Structure 1
Amino acid sequence: MKRIPIMKGQLLAAAIVCAVAAGFTPAAAYAQETAETPAPAGGQKISEYTMDKVVVEGKQDRPDSPGALADGFALNSGGVGFLGEKAVLETPFTQTTLSNKTVETFGAPGLPLDSILTNSPSVQAAGSVLHNDFTFRGFRANGTSSYVNGIPGMFTQFNAPTFMIDRIDLISGPNGGISGTGSHYESNAAGGLINFVAKKAPEEALTRYTQTFSGYGSFGEYLDIARRFGQDNAWGVRINTELVNGETSIHGENIKARGIFANIDHRDEKSATNILTGYRYIEVEGGMRWFKLGSAVTKLPKAPESSADYGFDGMVKASRGWILALNHEQKISEDWKAFFNGGLNRNNLTKNVSGVNSAFTIKNNAGDYDLYVNNGGTPMNTYYAQLGAQGRIIGGEVQHTLTLALDHSWRNRKSATGYVNKTIGAGNIYTGFVQERLPNGDYSTGLAEKQKLWGWSVVDQIDYQKWQFLVGVHKHFATVDSYTPATGKRTASVDSDAFSPTYGVVYKAADNLSVYASHSESFDKGTVVSNTYVNSGEILAPAKTKQNEIGIKHEHAGILTALSFFDISQANNIEVALAGDNSKKYLIQDGKDRHKGVELSASGSLSDKWNVMGGFMLLDASREKTKGGQYDGYDVSGRARWNGIIALEYQADEKLGLVGRARYTGKSTINDEKIAVPGYTTFDLGLNYKTVLARTPAVFSLMCYNLTNKDYWMASRGDQLYVSRPRTVVLSARFDL
C-alpha cells in the first residue's frame, strides 16, 4: 500500500495543540524623570534632576532546573552538547528541556521512562518497566543511546534511575557533530540526543524524605540530602537514595529496587568540577508485555486486559551496576578554557528468564501462545573519555566561539554461552495460561562483542548582530568485533569511518522571535546481529543518518512556542522471516527509512495560576530503495502518524494544585502493512497539597495514570506489540526536614 499525502491525517492530535494567548512581551524596566516637578504649595521649588537610563534585570533563584518558564513544565534553556547551556531561541534545532517538576510529576517506580519523555511530542511511548525503549522522531532508542551529564553510555536498556535526575535535555535530530562519539546497544541516537542532568546541591541546605505507595502494594522511600560548604560555598554534595519493594498495578509484577547516588561539585574563579557516582540494583518479577504475531494471524487480536500478567512462574529480570561520571572545566585565560568529560558504566544483567527474544508469539486470531522461554545475561562495561578546549575569538562585530575536542568510547559485552529454548506451557491472552514446569535459571556468559570508537570534532559558533551561524564537523572511526561466547573466538570484524557535519543558521528577528535552518548527521558503527536471529554474529554495514530542519521559535505572553519541519533519512536494518517459518528471522540491511514531519510545541504560563505544556508531531515514516522496489512507499513498522500531548496545571492557591495530562498516539501498521494497530488516548489526573506539620513543610500528592483504565496495544520494536499499562495510582508524601 502506498503512502497517503502527509496532510490528510487525523485531526485529533491537532486538537491537542496549545492555544497561545496574546498580549505580553517581556521587557526591561526603565525610569527617567524629565517633566518639571511642581513646588509644594507655599514652599521652595524642589531641585530637578534628569536620571540616566536605568535597566533593571532580574533572574529568579531556583536551585533545581534553572531557567524554568514561570516555574513550569519546561525550561527556556538547556544543555546543547559542545555548545553548553543555550537559550531555546538561540539553537538551530528543536530543543526541549523538561524541568524537575515534569520529572517528579510524571515519573514513578511502577512507570516506564517514556511516561516522562513523552511530554515532548518528538517521543512516542514504546517501553515498559523492564525496558527503557521509546522512539524519537520515529527512530528506536533506549538508555544506551542517551547521555548523563553530557557523557554517553551511562545508562542501559533496562529500567532507568530517575530519582537522581534534575532535568532532561532533548535535542531532536542526529547531532553527532555537537555531541561526540557514543557506543550504543540495540538502539542509536539517530532521532535525537537525550541528556539526563543529575541533581546538584542548591545554595540552601536540603534534607528531604519522600514516601510513595503505588499499584497493589509497592512501597518506596527516598532521601534527598544536599549541603554546600567551604569558602563561598565552593563545595557541594547531594545524596539521593531509593528503596522500592512490592507489587505494581499489574497483577504478579513485583519490583525490588535499591540505589544510592552522590553528586559532588566544586567551583572557583578558575575551574568547575562535577563528579557523579552511584550504584543501583533492580529486580522485576513477572510483567511480561511483549508479543509477536505468527504467520497464521490475519487480523489484530483485541487488546487484552492491561492489568494481567502474561508472564510465568519463574520469569525474572535483574540488573545491578554502578556508574562514575566526571566533568571538569579549567579556565586558561579570559577567553579560553579546557574541558574533560569521562565516565564508566559497569552493569550486569544478572537474571534474564523471559520469553525468547523477550516476547511470546501469538499463534492465531484467538490469541493462543506458547510459553517458549530461555534465559541468559548481558554483562557489559562501557567507558568514555573526551578532552577539548573552547574559546572566543572576537574581530570587530563578529565573535567566534570555537570548540576543539577528541574523544574515545569503548564497550565490552558478554552474552550467554548457550541459549536453551524450551516450551514450558501454553496460554491465551484472554483466558490465562497453563504452566507445566519451571524454567531453567542457570547460565554462564562469555565475550560476545567489542566496540571501539574514537573521533575528533571542530565546532564554530559565529555571532554577528542578529545572526548566529553554526559550523561543525565530527570525524570518527569505529571497530566492531563479534565473538562466539562459548569459545571466545572472534568470528567477524568491521572497521568504518565517516565525517558527520553539522551546520545551521539562526536569525533573531526580535528578542523573543527567531527563525532557523540546519543540517545534521550522525554515523553509527556496524551492527552485530544478535543471537535472536538466524544469522547471529554477522556484522551489518554502518548506517549514516541525515536530517534537514527549518523552524521558527517565539516567546510571547509567557508561552514559548516552536514550529519545525524536518526530513530524516537512515539506512535500514529489517527483519526477514525464514521461508515457511515466521518465528525464525534474519536481520539484513535493505534500503532506507525516510521520516518527514511537522512538530509544534508550546509551554509556559497562561496566568499566575495556570501552566501548560503540549504539542503534536505529524510523521510520515516510509521505506525507500528496498530490494527490487518491493516495499517502496510502505510504512515503517510501528511508527504512528500522529503523536500529541497536552498537560495543564492549575494552582488554586498557595496550598492546592491540580494537574492533568492527555496523550494521543495515532494508528500505525506492522508486518509490511498487513496489520493495523489502532491509535489510543490516555488521561492522567492528579493533585498536590502543601502544608506544614510541626514546623515541617510537607507536600502530599495523589496521581492517577491511565485514568480510564484503557486497554490498548502499543506498536514497539518494529513488528512487535506491547500490552498497555493499566490504571496506576501513586500516593506520595514529601517532607523537608
Structure 2
Amino acid sequence: MKKASKRLLLTALMMGCSFGAAHDAFAEEAARTAAEAEESHSTAQESADSEYHLPDLTVLGDRKTFRGGMIERKSTTGILGEKDSLELPFSVTTVNQKAIETFSTPQSGVMDTLSLVPSVRASSSKSVHSVTIRGFQQNGYSMYINGIPGAMSSGNLPYYWIENATVVAGPNLGVNGTNISDTIGGSINFQSKRAQTKDNTDVRLSYNGGRSFEQGVDIGRRFGADKAFGLRVAANHIGGETVQEDKNLKQNNIFVNFDHQGKRSTTNLMLGYSRIKYEGGGDGFSVGNLTVLPKAPDARKSYTPSWLYHTYKDTWIILNHEQKLNDHVTAYINFGHHKFDYDKYYEGTPKLTSNDGDFTINAEYWPLGHTRIYFGTGLRGDFQTGDVKHEYIIGFDKNWVNRFSGGGDLWSGTGNLYRNNSWASVPLPDYQPPLQFKQQMTGYHLVDTMKFMDDRLQLTLGLHGHKSSYTRVGQKRQDSDATCPTFALSYKFTPEIMGYVSHSESFNAGTLVSGASYKNKGEVLPPAKTKQDELGVKIKKGDFVNTLSLFKIRKANTIDVMRPDGKYRLNDGEQENTGFEWAFTGKISKRLDLVGGMMYLDAKQSKTKDGANDGKAVGGTSKFSGTIGAVYHVDPAWSLIGRVSYLGRADIKNETLSVPASWKVDLGASYETKMGTTPVTLTLMCYNVTGKDYWIPVAGADSLQLSAPRSVSFAANFEI
C-alpha cells in the first residue's frame, strides 16, 4: 500500500476522534436536552430510551443509541441477554435500523452496513451472503437470527425485515451458544423487527440500478389488553436485470413477527419465507498458475454464461420465550427450524489461466439443501455473596442438521476478461440430491460474572462443553468433543473509561468444504479448536465513543492445495491472526454524524507440513482496512450521506501473486418531506462513485471477487 494512502486513511480516522467535543444536535433536540438537564451529564449526552410504561406491559420503542443515532448502546448478546456494550469485556457493536437503511447497498445488502464495524469486511455478491471477521471467512450458515445459530440464509437477503444486527468479534461460544457452523472470527446476530407502541404502515418503492426495481411494505400493530400483543409484517419483491449485464435477480420475501409482553414473560415468534432466482452465474473467480495478476476487467460485464442460474428458498420458524420465575431467576427457551433448499443450481466459476486474462469455466449442476433444528434452554439469574454480586447462566442446547447434496459436471468452456464472450446453452438436467450427512451437536454453558467494588471490577468465568456426532452416508459415524473455557476481567477506571482483558475458545466440529471449484466439496475437515486473547479499552468522551483492542486468534490452517486433478480444501498446520482495531461512533459537530473504524491484521501460517509455508501470509488477508460512514445534516429535512472504504494489498497463492489495494466511495442524499399528510423520505445514492474496477481478495483462499460497478439507486419510503 502506498504510504500516502496509509497517511490519508489514518488522518481521516484520527479526525473522527480528535473532534469529539460535545454539541447539541438539532433545534428539535434542544427541548429534549433541556428536559434531561437534571439527569447526569453522561446520560444527557445519549439518545434517551423511548420507553412506554403500561399497566401490564413495557414496550420499547427506539433503543438508546450513542450520539449519531446509528450504533445502539445496548446489545443483545445471545444467552447473556441484553447488556450495555460499554460494560461488556469484549468487542461488540450493534448497528441499528437507521444505519442499515442508510448504508446497505443493492449489491451486498446489509453486509455492506456491517463493514462499518472495523473487524468486518463485506465479501458478498449479488447471490451470496458472506463476510470476513478478523480475517476469517464465514457465510450465512454461521450467522444467527434472534439468537438461533445457523439460521441465516446463504443467499443474499434484503434488509427490510431487520431491526438491528450485532457483531461480536472473536470466538464466543460463551456469548452465543453452540453453532455447528464456523464462527471463528466472530458472530453476527440479526434481530427481526417487532411491533412498536406506535402503529406503522410503511411502503417502499426503489430503483436499484440497471433494470432492477423493488417494492416493499412494513406494517406493525399492537393490540389486545394493554396492547400486550404485537404483529409486524415485512414483505418485499425485487425483480429485473442488475447493474451487471445478463444477470437477473428476482426475490420474494415475507417475514411475520408476533410477540407478547407481559408482567413476567415475553414471547416472540418469527415466521419467514424467501424465494430467490439469480440468472447469469456467480461473481467469483479462482486463480490458476499465473506469474502476474491480470488487471481487473469491466465490472459491468458478465464472465459466465447467461443461461446458468440457481434458485433457492428458505423457510423459518423461530421462537424465543423468557419467563420470570422470581425477582432473581428467569428461565428461557429458544427454538429454531430453518429449511434451506438450493433446488436448482447450475453454476461455474471462471478460473484465470494466463497473465493475459484467459480463463476456463467448468460448470456443474449441484443442488443442495439442509434442514437445521435448534433447541436451547436454561436459567439466567443473580445472587449475592457478601459484597460480591453474581450474574449467572446455566444453559443447555442442541443442534440437528440433515444435509442433502449431489450432482455432476455440466459443461466446460473458455473466455477472456477483455473481450465479449458468448457461449451456446446446453440442456440443464433436473436432479434431486440425496442425503449427504447427518450431524448433531450438544452443548452446555456455565457462566458466572462477579461484580466487585460497586460494579467497577468485573470477573467473568465460563465453561462450555460440546459433543458432536457426524455421520456421512455409507461411512462410520465420527464423534468428537471439547471443553472450552472463557475468562474475562474488566475494570471501570472512570464512568467514561473501561479496560478489559479476555480469553475465549471455540470448538469447530469440522469445517464443511463448500464451493463449486473444490474437488473435495461436501467433505468435513477434522474438528479443531480456536483460541483468542484480547486486550481492549472503551472510552466515551462527550458525544464520541471509541473502542480500541489488541487480539490474537489461533486456529487450524485451512488452505487451497492444487493437485493434478484439481483444487482441494485441506488443513495444514495453524493460522495465527494478530491485529489491532479501532472503532468509533458519535458526533464531531452539531450537524455531522460519524461511524466507522480501522483494523491492522497480520495473518500468518505456522506448523505447516515440512515447514513449507511457515511465516507466509494467509491468502487474501489485507494488513490494513477501514471504513468511515458520515451523515451531514444540512437542515432537519436534508441530509448528505458519504462512505469511504479502504482495503489494503493482499497476497495470494503463498505470496506469489499480489492483489492491489482499493478505495471505494459512496455518496448520496436524503430528503424528508410530506405528500399531503403522508411523511415521505426520498434517498438518492451513487455507489462506487469513481467507477473504478478492482479485484477483492477472499480471506483464507486463493479466490477473487470483482468489484461492483458504479451504480445509482433511488428510494421513496412512505409512512402512511
**TM-score grouping bracket, smaller chain normalisation:** over 0.9
2:194 pairs with 1:200: yes
2:192 pairs with 1:171: no
Equivalent pair of 1:689/1:700 in contact (CA under 8 Å): yes
Residue 633 and residue 439 in structure 1: after superposition, are their counterparts in 2 closer, same or farther (change >3 A)? farther
Could you tell me how far 1:85 is from its partner in structure 2? 1.2
From 257, 262, 266, give the equivalent of 1:263. Answer: 257
Matched with 1:34 is none
The amino acid that maps onto 2:77 is V
Equivalent pair of 2:47/2:67 in contact (CA under 8 Å): no
CA distance in 2, matches of 1:218, 1:450: 39
Matched with 1:522 is 506
Residue 65 and residue 93 in structure 1: after superposition, are their counterparts in 2 closer, same or farther (change >3 A)? farther
Could you tell me how far 1:666 is from its partner in structure 2? 0.2
Residue 592 and residue 117 in structure 1: after superposition, are their counterparts in 2 closer, same or farther (change >3 A)? same
CA distance in 2, matches of 1:331, 1:453: 28
Instruction: Determine helix, strand or coil for the equivalent of 1:102.
Output: helix
CA distance in 2, matches of 1:439, 1:428: 24
The amino acid that maps onto 1:337 is T
Residue 607 and residue 179 in structure 1: after superposition, are their counterparts in 2 closer, same or farther (change >3 A)? same
2:626 pairs with 1:641: no
CA distance in 1, matches of 2:672, 2:423: 49
Alignment of 1:91-110 (within 5 A): 91-110=88-107
Residue 58 and residue 600 in structure 1: after superposition, are their counterparts in 2 closer, same or farther (change >3 A)? closer
Matched with 2:486 is 502
CA distance in 2, matches of 1:194, 1:538: 25
2:232 pairs with 1:238: yes
Equivalent pair of 1:25/1:556 in contact (CA under 8 Å): no
Could you tell me how far 1:161 is from its partner in structure 2? 3.7
Equivalent pair of 1:685/1:703 in contact (CA under 8 Å): yes
The amino acid that maps onto 1:14 is L
From 511, 515, 518, give the equivalent of 2:495. Answer: 511
Matched with 2:19 is 21
Instruction: Determine helix, strand or coil for the equivalent of 2:102.
Output: helix
From 441, 458, 463, give the equivalent of 1:453. Answer: 441
CA distance in 2, matches of 1:637, 1:353: 28
Matched with 2:408 is 419
Residue 298 and residue 94 in structure 1: after superposition, are their counterparts in 2 closer, same or farther (change >3 A)? same
Residue 532 and residue 478 in structure 1: after superposition, are their counterparts in 2 closer, same or farther (change >3 A)? farther
Residue 162 and residue 56 in structure 1: after superposition, are their counterparts in 2 closer, same or farther (change >3 A)? closer
Matched with 1:349 is 342
Residue 699 and residue 25 in structure 1: after superposition, are their counterparts in 2 closer, same or farther (change >3 A)? closer
2:525 pairs with 1:540: yes
CA distance in 1, matches of 2:604, 2:61: 41
CA distance in 2, matches of 1:324, 1:619: 38
Matched with 1:43 is none
CA distance in 2, matches of 1:534, 1:250: 29
Alignment of 1:226-625 (within 5 A): 226-286=220-280, 288-295=282-289, 297-355=290-348, 359-416=349-406, 418-423=407-412, 425-464=413-452, 465=454, 466-483=456-473, 490-529=474-513, 533-535=518-520, 539-578=524-563, 581=564, 584-625=566-607
Could you tell me how far 1:370 is from its partner in structure 2? 2.5
Equivalent pair of 1:210/1:733 in contact (CA under 8 Å): yes
User: Aligned pair count?
Assistant: 691
The amino acid that maps onto 1:522 is S
Alignment of 1:705-720 (within 5 A): 705-716=687-698, 718-720=701-703
Could you tell me how far 1:493 is from its partner in structure 2? 3.1
From 63, 74, 78, give the equivalent of 1:81. Answer: 78
Equivalent pair of 1:313/1:438 in contact (CA under 8 Å): no
Could you tell me how far 1:653 is from its partner in structure 2? 1.1
Matched with 2:686 is 704
The amino acid that maps onto 1:481 is T
Residue 648 and residue 113 in structure 1: after superposition, are their counterparts in 2 closer, same or farther (change >3 A)? closer
Could you tell me how far 1:532 is from its partner in structure 2? 5.3
Equivalent pair of 1:221/1:243 in contact (CA under 8 Å): yes
Segments of structure 1 that go 5 or more residues without pairing to the other structure are 32-54, 484-489
Could you tell me how far 1:150 is from its partner in structure 2? 0.8
Could you tell me how far 1:23 is from its partner in structure 2? 4.3
Instruction: Determine helix, strand or coil for the equivalent of 1:82.
Output: helix
Partner deviation per Cα, 1:125-152 (whole Å, 9 max, x = no partner)? 2220111121100011111111111111
Could you tell me how far 1:368 is from its partner in structure 2? 1.2
Tell me how large the CA RMSD over aligned residues is: 2.3
Alignment of 1:205-224 (within 5 A): 205-224=199-218
The amino acid that maps onto 2:435 is L
Could you tell me how far 1:286 is from its partner in structure 2? 1.2
Partner deviation per Cα, 1:277-334 (whole Å, 9 max, x = no partner)? 1111011111532111222x21100000111111203111211121011100001111
Matched with 2:29 is none
Partner deviation per Cα, 1:459-498 (whole Å, 9 max, x = no partner)? 1111112111111111010111222xxxxxx235321100
Residue 439 and residue 293 in structure 1: after superposition, are their counterparts in 2 closer, same or farther (change >3 A)? farther
Residue 8 and residue 190 in structure 1: after superposition, are their counterparts in 2 closer, same or farther (change >3 A)? farther
CA distance in 1, matches of 2:716, 2:312: 28
Equivalent pair of 1:89/1:553 in contact (CA under 8 Å): yes
The share of aligned pairs that are identical, in percent, is 35
TM-score w.r.t. the length of structure 1 is: 0.90
Equivalent pair of 2:217/2:236 in contact (CA under 8 Å): yes
Equivalent pair of 2:20/2:543 in contact (CA under 8 Å): no
CA distance in 1, matches of 2:47, 2:623: 43
Alignment of 1:108-127 (within 5 A): 108-127=105-124
Could you tell me how far 1:237 is from its partner in structure 2? 0.6
Could you tell me how far 1:588 is from its partner in structure 2? 2.4
Instruction: Determine helix, strand or coil for the equivalent of 1:540.
Output: coil
Equivalent pair of 2:331/2:380 in contact (CA under 8 Å): yes
Residue 538 and residue 653 in structure 1: after superposition, are their counterparts in 2 closer, same or farther (change >3 A)? closer
The amino acid that maps onto 2:506 is S
Equivalent pair of 1:65/1:75 in contact (CA under 8 Å): no
Residue 276 and residue 413 in structure 1: after superposition, are their counterparts in 2 closer, same or farther (change >3 A)? same
Residue 138 and residue 9 in structure 1: after superposition, are their counterparts in 2 closer, same or farther (change >3 A)? farther
Choose 432-441 or 125-134, whichever is displaced more. Answer: 432-441
Structure with higher Rg: it is: 1
Equivalent pair of 2:274/2:313 in contact (CA under 8 Å): yes
Equivalent pair of 1:462/1:469 in contact (CA under 8 Å): yes
The amino acid that maps onto 2:627 is I
Matched with 2:219 is 225
The amino acid that maps onto 1:445 is P
Could you tell me how far 1:159 is from its partner in structure 2? 1.4
Could you tell me how far 1:590 is from its partner in structure 2? 1.1
CA distance in 1, matches of 2:470, 2:117: 33
Residue 686 and residue 375 in structure 1: after superposition, are their counterparts in 2 closer, same or farther (change >3 A)? same
The amino acid that maps onto 1:433 is N
Partner deviation per Cα, 1:374-405 (whole Å, 9 max, x = no partner)? 11211111110001001111233211011100
Equivalent pair of 1:404/1:458 in contact (CA under 8 Å): yes
CA distance in 1, matches of 2:484, 2:9: 34
The amino acid that maps onto 2:17 is A
Could you tell me how far 1:182 is from its partner in structure 2? 1.3
